[in-house]
Amino acid sequence: MENNKLEIYNSKEEYLSDLEKRGKLPEGFKTSVISMEFFPAERPVKKPLPMRLSLLMLDKPTSVFGAAFTRNKCPGAPVIIGKARLMSDKVRGVIINNKVSNVCTETGVEDSTMLLEHLAKETGSSSQEFFPSSTGIIGWQLPVKDMVKNIPRLVGELAPGTGVNLAKGIMTTDSYPKLRSADVGDGRIVAVAKGAGMIEPNMATMLSFIMTDISMERDTIRDILKRVVEKTYNSISVDGDQSTSDTVIIMSSCTKKKVPEKEFEEALFKVCSDLSVDIVRNSEGCGHVVKVSVKGASDYVAARNFGKAVLNSPLVKTAIFGNDPNVGRILSSIGDYAGNNNLALNKEKISLFIGGEVIFEKGAFRLDQEKELRLVDYLKSRVLDSDHKEFPSHNNTVDIDVILGSASGSATVFGCDLSNGYVRENSDYRS
């Protein structure tokens, strides 16, 4: 995953303007987002809580669609239904709610099914043509009666345009919306995503909806999605917690001509890789985005796992947050992973770099006072506001390069530091 273009924003308005420019929906798609309120059955509250309902819908049902879901063995009801929906001949859209994730409640599947049935009636479709998708608090029941009352308004506000409102609508603890796009042939790919915590190892508390108007066969688009997800959404980490609700859905209206499969896959990879890094950048309490590139591993999976071992080390994370180049922690995390997984590792062949500066090679650290000061300045130059403004100020990363030897396995993974903002957000999440 690479994002080579430097992006700098000075205000929320600048960022949203950029999203509007890149967010024009592919042909054949409409979206709507509405706000509603509800009283949770599980917790007494003095005032009703806010919820957003979002709808992504095709003008006509399509047989060209695919999806990827969490591997968590305690999945939400929308994931259970979504997996079954992959067997449908055609689909027409997705209804999404934030605030409540609809996981393992007694009536979870029935609640989502009821929503789909009312949506189908309102749109003149079959309930089998829609995916449900929910994100938010795990353990609460959907306020399904309140949601059903709002479906006519949700359908009534469907409109073409950009996907920015959809990107806003699906947010939970995200500080700002995330949207990426690419022009391919005479068509487009547009994707939105949300996610800020419970990120890793297989996707995240992450929803991503991908729209395209490029014609393609169903099996082809599913194969491409699988490959792209593996090297993008499955190659990021914030906190090592895999969610119950992760979902990526792709749909094509097939209103534009085909393009070569490789060309489409490269464009989709770029869109999803940029969105993946956007998710990390907006993760709860993120003060630095960290990119770990690993070479010389036995294969791709090994390289990715070594990279994630560095990203997931609390000691590495906290050092980076403090702008402290405590580089011994990086080497320790690599040796820890190799030792606990019985992997061969020759420290004489390891080379480590931060921001292009060599910090370890030929079995020994390569440090001096001037280099320490340069590394501190380098980390400071990559700082983000860990309490998060309503826009990303830049897309710079802390670059850590790891060379393990001469084998051909390589991977690039993205993660973030660990700040007091992450602890604060997750200790007070339901308030």
Catalytic-labelled residue, pool 123, 205, 212, 232? 205
Omega before 201 within 30 of 0, i.e. cis: yes
Backbone CA torsion sign across 429, 194, 150, 128:
negative
Query: Cβ distance 94 to 129 under 8 Å?
Result: no
Identify which of 368, 366, 369 has the alpha carbon closest to the alpha carbon of residue 358.
366
d(CA 319, CA 170): 32
Query: Cβ distance 90 to 62 under 8 Å?
Result: yes
Q: Establish whether 205 is a catalytic residue.
A: yes
Report phi then psi at 355, rounded to 5: 55, 30
d(CA 236, CA 242): 11
The owner of tokens 């990390």 is 280
Identify which of 87, 108, 93, 95 has the alpha carbon closest to the alpha carbon of residue 34.
95
The owner of tokens 């990119």 is 291
Q: Enter the DSSP assignment of 102.
A: -
Query: Cβ distance 262 to 399 under 8 Å?
Result: no
Give the helix ranges, DSSP H, for 247-351.
261-281, 300-311, 314-321, 328-340
Q: How many CA atoms lie within 13 A of 89 on its CB side?
A: 1
Name, in order, each residue with C-beta under 8 angstroms of 84's C-beta and a sequence gap of 6 or more: none
Query: Cβ distance 286 to 414 under 8 Å?
Result: no
The owner of tokens 């995390």 is 333
Q: Which residues are designated catalytic?
A: 205
